[in-house]
Chain A
């Protein structure tokens, strides 16, 4: 065996075992084709919000907030009586904008009071209510809108019921369904969903950028707004704000023509599927400030034409009472004046009596039918088209008081005002024996008021017997609103005024601006009926 053969064989014996073992286990070498790529974390940036539309925000923000109730004639009622899932401080940018636009914000915090509040409201703002509206409330809101008032209803998918940090008294209902109770009669409705956009959004898929606006004063000047979680509208006669094709509904994960804000056919009701854009700091994003300002203007620009049913919220100016020179003033009439004044509420200010109508004041004329036919008032009351058929007079058996001097009248008013302020008005009035049906002796004090017992032809009602009926007549003139309250005698007038003050005019027949109210008739009346 040659030497090289020996070496070769030895080498083979050396190599074969490790080679064999290697091949047994390892059949190749792992080599990565491409380097492992990882996200370029350092390049990522926190998404910045769209720049606020400075032109939209500056002019309005620079204006002072009008908070004084005396300077604001438009009352915007903010609902807080339906376990609403928001706090007033949250929407301060919105309430400030309402103030700047000339509106007065009144918060309706209890459902019981809200029926009265609706009468006072020129506009109504409802945000995320979770306690249902009663049929009466819905009717009152509908009436507000029909009379020209404005309604804005906001819902929000993040404020849709369940436990709440805003109120311990959380209603059992889903806020969307409660809001829809109110919106149904206006052809509007929310879907119980939320909108999202995964393609283009404001820092989060649920913060949607909206650029599709219908032409409307509410959308005037808007290029882009951002809604921070919004519901879509299931029905809207006018779509004010729409999402783009990539804006999808959580209910269907489908998009296209989804409506984020809509308006009813009358143009007086707006439903918006978001409320966050009215809160800080989100009101400062993109065109949100302008939208907030536009909405505030929308609320205060409605002109509500009230009827008698809205008494005492029928006046736009300070009110004065007309007592023409020579008018009969006895305590019953004074009491009537006090009662009517009390019924106007605390906003009416101090009682003012004038002998002639003055510019800048609305007018209340409390008078007997006899006075109404007289020269002093006849001309003023002509506008109501009343026609009188004489039926004679009868001594007012209820009236016990002598005529009063003006100083005595003033003193009586002061006493009434004090009693009203102290909450003892009812007690004081009960102490006056002049209430109808008092059954006191006639002529006890000498002078008495005669009750006119004829018949009055009231437009829209026909002939109304004067005895046992009072009339409340409202007229809206260019200069002033005039409210006339007429009855057969001062004691009947007092009874009529008491009925008005109680707020219960349910016994009256009310037709737009005229009401006929039943009063206690004079005993042994001799007047003709109808």
Chain B
């Protein structure tokens, strides 16, 4: 000890700076190394043009920010339109190329929301979560007729497409859905495609048994799993909805039909193609 003190007594300022400067630089550099972040993207509504755009903005933010090392997708949704679902799904697959994405299913990930689930790397659900309802649904277009007050340049300009074509289209879209399930779940899937295509909804417990999801757990477990997959520790969790400057349009106000007294029904208001869980009620039966 006395020897070290003797050496230090011999140091001049110049000699001290030789060590202090690198240390300071090291500390400064270290300060620029960001704390890793796990971004949380939440969907608590139907997948409509508004909610889909919001999610796409958040996905883009996650992809653009390197400190976001993983994303947890929290789903409480009955699904939505086919187009919006596919749009989010494709953005998720791009994000997964650089960052792991883990799904946490809350009360429900049905139809289009399950489509998003299979577009992530790992999926949790609660034991009683509603999972599945794989398939496409929609209102058949009307039979084309000529309307006296409307002139168009073709028979389907007004009606969109023939009814038969509609039926065949949803079958084609179904192929895309089931292929996404097969690709997304891979070897984890323990049931035949025909079983999944029945459109049934399963509980989280059954969904794990069938390989539709990976594990039962909570949102914190999903975050831990995301961190584990991203090989990070001492991370922070950020709700990407809070940090993005998305316009947060939310669900279109007229996405679902409303009764005359303003009660929202589970039926979409517009004709179209949906990956949506529509609980059968007396009106449908």
Judged by a CB distance under 8 angstroms, whether B18 is at the interface is yes
Q: Would you call B147 an interface residue if the criterion is a C-beta within 8 Å of the partner chain's C-beta atoms?
A: no
- Asked if A14 is an interface residue, CB under 8 A from chain B, the answer is yes
Whether A46 pairs with B165 at a CB distance below 8 angstroms is yes
Q: Contacts of B164 on A, CB cut-off 8 Å?
A: 281
Q: Chain A 12-34, CB within 8 Å of chain B: the 1/0 string?
A: 11111110111011111110100
Nearest A residue to B22, CB-CB: A14
In this complex, how many residues of chain B approach chain A with their Cβ under 8 Å: the count is: 52
**How many Å lie between the Cα of A33 and that of B261 in the bound state?**
54
Cβ–Cβ < 8 Å partners of A32 in chain B: 96-98
Q: Whole-angstrom distance between the alpha carbons of A15 and B168 in the complex?
A: 63
Q: Nearest CB to that of B284 among chain A residues?
A: A162
**Complex Cα spacing A35 to B93, Å:** 10
Residue from B35, B98, B99, B183 within 8 A of A38 (CB atoms): B183
The smallest C-beta distance from B137 to any residue of chain A, in angstroms, reads 11
Residues of the B chain whose Cβ atoms lie less than 8 Å from the Cβ of A10: 18-19, 21-22
> Does A405 interact with chain B (Cβ within 8 Å)?
no
Residue pair B7, A22 in contact (C-beta under 8 Å): no
Interface stretch of the complex, out of A197-205, A232-240, A406-414, A423-431: A197-205
CA distance in complex: A237, B30 (Å): 86
Partner of A203 from the list B22, B31, B89, B168 (CB cut-off 8 Å) is B168
- List the A side residues contacting B179 at CB < 8 Å: 39-40
Q: Name, among B70, B171, B232, the residue most crowded by chain A CB atoms within 10 Å (CB to CB).
A: B171
Question: Which partner residue on chain A sits nearest B231 by CB separation?
Answer: A28
Say if the beta carbon of A11 comes within 8 Å of chain B. yes
Residue of A at shortest CB range from B27? Answer: A17
**Contacting A15 at CB < 8 Å: which of B26, B33, B183, B231?**
B26
> A27 to B235, alpha carbons, bound, how many Å?
12
With a CB–CB cut-off of 8 A, which chain A residues contact B70? 30
Interface size on A, residues (CB 8 A): 44
A346 touches B (CB below 8 Å) = no
Kindly identify which residue among B26, B170, B183 contacts A18, using a CB–CB cutoff of 8 Å: B26
Q: Does B36 contact A (CB under 8 A)?
A: yes
User: B158 an interface residue at 8 Å Cβ cutoff?
Assistant: no
Q: Are A46 and B168 in contact (CB under 8 A)?
A: yes
* Interface contact B23-A203, CB-CB below 8 Å: no
Most buried by B among A1, A6, A13, A20: A13
A32 to B97, CA, bound (A): 7
On chain B, the residues within 8 Å of A40 by CB distance are 179
A1–B7 alpha-carbon span in the complex (Å): 8
Residues of A within 8 A of B194 (CB): 198-199
Residues of A within 8 A of B90 (CB): 38
Question: How many whole Å from A279's CB to the nearest CB in chain B?
Answer: 11
Cα separation A1 to B198 with both chains bound (whole Å) = 78
Contacts of A17 in B (CB 8 A): 23, 26-27, 29-30
When distances are taken between beta carbons in the complex, the residues of chain B under 8 Å from A1 are 7
Q: Which residue of chain B has the shortest Cβ distance to A285 in the bound complex?
A: B164
Residue A44 at the B interface, CB < 8 A? yes
Contact partners of B29 in chain A: CB under 8 A? 14, 17-18
- Interface flag for B169 (CB, 8 Å): yes
Contact with A along B58-93 (1 / 0, CB 8 A): 000000000001100000000000000000011001
Shortest CB distance A495–B (Å): 57
Proximity bits, B6-30, A CB within 8 Å = 1, else 0: 0100000001001101110111011
5 new A-B contacts at CB < 8 Å, known A39-B176, A198-B198: A21-B31, A22-B30, A24-B233, A24-B234, A46-B168
9 pairs of residues in contact across A and B, judged by CB atoms under 8 Å: A14-B22, A18-B33, A22-B30, A25-B235, A30-B98, A40-B179, A41-B176, A205-B197, A207-B167
The list of the 7 closest CB pairs from A to B, nearest first, reads A28-B231, A14-B22, A17-B30, A39-B179, A17-B26, A13-B23, A18-B30
- By a beta-carbon cutoff of 8 Å, the part of chain B in contact with chain A is 7, 15, 18-19, 21-23, 25-27, 29-31, 33-36, 69-70, 89-90, 93-94, 96-100, 164-165, 167-172, 175-176, 179-180, 183, 194, 197-198, 229-235, 285
